[in-house]
Amino acid sequence: MWKKLCTKKGIAWTTVGAVAVAGFGAGYVFGAFDGLAAAEGEPNGGNDIAVSADAYTSSAKPDHNAGSVTRLLTGGGDATGVTVTYLRFALTEAQAAGGLVLRLPVAETVDNELVEVAHVSPVWSESDITAAESPPMGSVLDTTRASTQASQLEFNLPAGSLRAGDVAFAVTTPAAKATLSFHSRESGVDAARLSPVRAESVADEPLPRQPEKGGSCPVGAKLVPYCGALLGVAPGAHTDGSKTAALRNFEDNTGRGQHIYHSYHRGDVMFPTREEIAVATEADNPRVLFLNWKPRGASWAEIAAGDPATDAYLERLAAHITTYYGDKPFFFTVHHEPEDDVRADPESGYTAPDYAAMFGHVVNKLRAEGVSNMVSVMVYMAYLKWTQQDWHDELYPGDSVVDWVAWDTYGYSDPGYGHGDFADIVNREGTQGQNWPGFYRWAAETFPGKPLMVAEWGVWYSSRNPDHQAEVFAGAADQLAHFPRLKAVVYFESASAEGRDSRVDVSPKALDAYRRFTDSRAFSVDLGLG
């Protein structure tokens, strides 16, 4: 299924070379770009630009500096933990204005593994950078696949995507149990370099300079942070009582405010509610609402065809939002996790194409009624069984009506399906012959122009393995580095979700580990809503 989807999107997943380009400028997306064509472009008359600083960091040695080594590491393993390679270059105005290819000579690699290059702040020193003090991830500029047959990796940086002066990149991979190594500038052989090319595409917007070291990361269009990730919660799920009170209790317990408050609504209710509006507009702690709506009373096909009752409701909802919530941005999804409700019968009104059409109709209807501050999110269930279905690729409503792509995913404390660390939860791979690379890998290559979100995640506590929850939280901050496209992480907090408990304060050890996770510099994002 994964190979089929990538091929359909124009990405041959076994191909070596740059295959996808995405960026996070003021408008987030750099624009459509044929990576292979640009990589093979003609020289632009300039000379190669040598790397001016390089190093790698290791979560196994968070305070250790590896700026003078001859090999740079990227990946993961028991001995090294999570490793990330950092590169810095100095660009003139002319060099920054043209298209560039980052060429990264390989020392050791693994076959067919996804590798990404992300923009980071250039304010770090080769002799000082460590995992504990590494800059938050910015935009992913390009993605490629490693090959044991290739001597170097190539990444395309479209014209206009960089500014003159110092620019820096992080080289990452979602591979949590494999490591790639590259020749450093101290190795005595070819090291990383930028090669000017005559680019066939220009970035829509220049990429802004990243925040200074120690500063926060602002958000741009569509609520995408220029660096780091948004942090959120769906509090008190499947329980009685005020959800906004549960939100404040969660924030008190974890010791910090949340960027995102995820709430759920059904049928013909009006939302956001008065309580939700109050939460979103608190002067000292403004939050972004994630409004999740599940329609009732009509099938997907009927809604897509303009069901009169649903359209009338959407008109009332739009008036409610514009009147009571104004122009403050908010996330929105409709019928999240649709996979559970897909039916094969083409006359059922619940086929995958019916869902895609319904989603598009709802988003376009709200936009037409004046809701211009909505940031739409497609939320997948990410259950391995559904990823293997022939209709899985038909669920996507289309780039014009989807701003973010998200998925819901959970970890289990007891051994068996779903047991693993944070990296396993985010990018759970197929087993027993399932051809599935993990949801992050699939989404990175299938939707290269979209920011990614984990819209629900949690670790189910078990008295049979009481320390597992804390162990997952303890490794999560480091493992975020595997997933630079992940721009929002929303925890699903429930004391009883079908008998399961995901609360982060079930044990003191778990709460302490979760607090340390959310204290990561990756979540130092300024919403700019105060």
Written as one string, the DSSP assignment of 287-302 is -EEEEEEE--SS-HHH
**Per-residue pLDDT at 9 exceeds 50:** no
pLDDT, tens digit (0-9, with 9 covering 90-100), for 158-207: 888 888 999 999 999 999 999 999 999 999 999 999 999 865 555 555 45
Residue 62 pLDDT > 60, yes or no?
yes
Q: Which of 197, 228, 243 is the last residue of a domain?
A: 197
Write out the residue range of the structural domain in which residue 46 sits: 2-197
Residue 202 domain-assigned?
Answer: no
pLDDT in the model for residue 463:
96
| Residue 169: closest CA among 104, 218, 107 | 104
Please check whether residues 228 and 169 belong to one and the same domain: no
| 219-253: b (≥16 Cβ within 10 Å) or e | bbebbbbbbbbbbbbbbbbeeeeebbebbbbbbee
| pLDDT at 417 (0 to 100) | 87
10 with 124, same domain: the answer is yes
* Residue 123 is assigned to a structural domain of this protein: yes
Is it the case that residue 264 has pLDDT exceeding 80?
yes
- Same domain membership, residue 510 and residue 429: yes
Write the CB contacts of 300 (distance below 8 Å, at least 6 apart in sequence).
335, 349, 350, 351, 354, 355, 357, 358
Asked if residue 500 has pLDDT above 60, the reply is yes
CB 31 within 8 A of CB 186: no
205 occurs within a structural domain: no
Q: Is residue 207 part of a domain?
A: no
Amino acid 503: pLDDT: 97
pLDDT of residue 435: 82
Q: Which of 116, 154, 337, 339 is catalytic?
A: 337
Check whether 445 has a pLDDT greater than 60.
yes
Q: For the chain, what percent of residues have pLDDT higher than 70?
A: 87
Residues 104 and 155 in one domain: yes
- Residue 215 binned pLDDT confidence (cut-offs 50, 70, 90): low
pLDDT-derived band at 452 (thresholds 50, 70, 90) equals very high
207 vs 484, higher pLDDT = 484
What's the longest Cα–Cα distance across the chain? 71
Rounded CA-CA distance 144/272 in Å is 41
337 part of the active site: yes
Say whether both 357 and 462 belong to one domain. Answer: yes
> 319 and 185, same structural domain?
no
Q: Give the model's pLDDT for residue 251.
A: 98
Q: What is the pLDDT of residue 277?
A: 97
- Judge if 223 and 119 occupy the same domain: no
Evaluate whether residue 206 is within a structural domain. Answer: no
Tokens encoding 522:
């990756």
* pLDDT confidence of residue 35: 30
Q: How far apart are CA 319 and CA 90, in angstroms?
A: 51
| Residue at 461 is within a domain | yes
Residues 224 and 174 in one domain: no
pLDDT digits (tens, 9 = 90+) for 357-374: 999 999 999 999 999 999
Q: How confident is the model at residue 10 (pLDDT cuts 50, 70, 90)?
A: very low
Q: Are residues 258 and 323 in the same domain?
A: yes
Distance between terminal CA atoms of the chain?
45
pTM value surpassing 0.85: yes
Residue labelled with tokens 């090669």:
195
Q: How confident is the model at residue 17 (pLDDT cuts 50, 70, 90)?
A: very low
Is 456 an annotated catalytic residue? yes
Q: What is residue 31's predicted lDDT score, i.e. its pLDDT? A: 27
CA dist., res. 438 & res. 486, Å (int): 14
Same-domain status, 184 and 246? no
Residue-level pLDDT at 278: 96
Lowest average pLDDT, out of 2-11, 222-231, 321-330, 403-412, goes to 2-11
Q: What is the pLDDT of residue 238?
A: 85
With cut-offs at 50, 70 and 90, classify the pLDDT of residue 240: confident
Please tell me which residue in 126, 276, 456, 493 is annotated as part of the active site.
Answer: 456
Mean pLDDT across the chain: 89
Task: Express as a percent the part of the chain with pLDDT over 90.
Answer: 80
Q: Which of 429-443, 450-464, 468-482, 509-523 has the lowest mean pLDDT?
A: 429-443
| Overall size of the chain counted in residues | 530
Buried/exposed code over 261-297 (b: 16+ C-beta within 10 A; e: otherwise): bbbebeeeeebbbeebbebbbeeebbbbbbbbbebee
Q: How confident is the model at residue 129 (pLDDT cuts 50, 70, 90)?
A: very high
How many domains is the chain partitioned into structurally? 2
Domain end residue (candidates: 163, 197, 231) = 197
Q: Which of 136-140, 195-199, 445-449 has the lowest mean pLDDT?
A: 195-199
Q: How confident is the model at residue 47 (pLDDT cuts 50, 70, 90)?
A: confident
Task: Work out the average pLDDT over 461-490.
Answer: 98
Q: Is residue 119 part of a domain?
A: yes
Token pair 């939700």: residue: 276
CATH number for the domain that contains residue 129: 2.60.120
Higher pLDDT: 155 or 12? It is: 155
* Residue reference for tokens 């909505």: 374
CATH number of domain containing 222: 3.20.20.80
Same domain, 193 and 221: no
pLDDT of residue 252: 97
Whole-number pLDDT of residue 202: 53
Same structural domain, 334 and 363: yes
141, 167, 197 - which closes a domain: 197
Q: Are residues 122 and 88 in contact, defined by beta-carbon separation less than 8 angstroms? A: yes
Taking the C-alpha atoms of residue 169 and residue 23, their distance in angstroms, rounded to an integer, is 13
C-alpha–C-alpha distance, residues 273 and 494, integer Å: 21
Q: Is residue 100 part of a domain?
A: yes
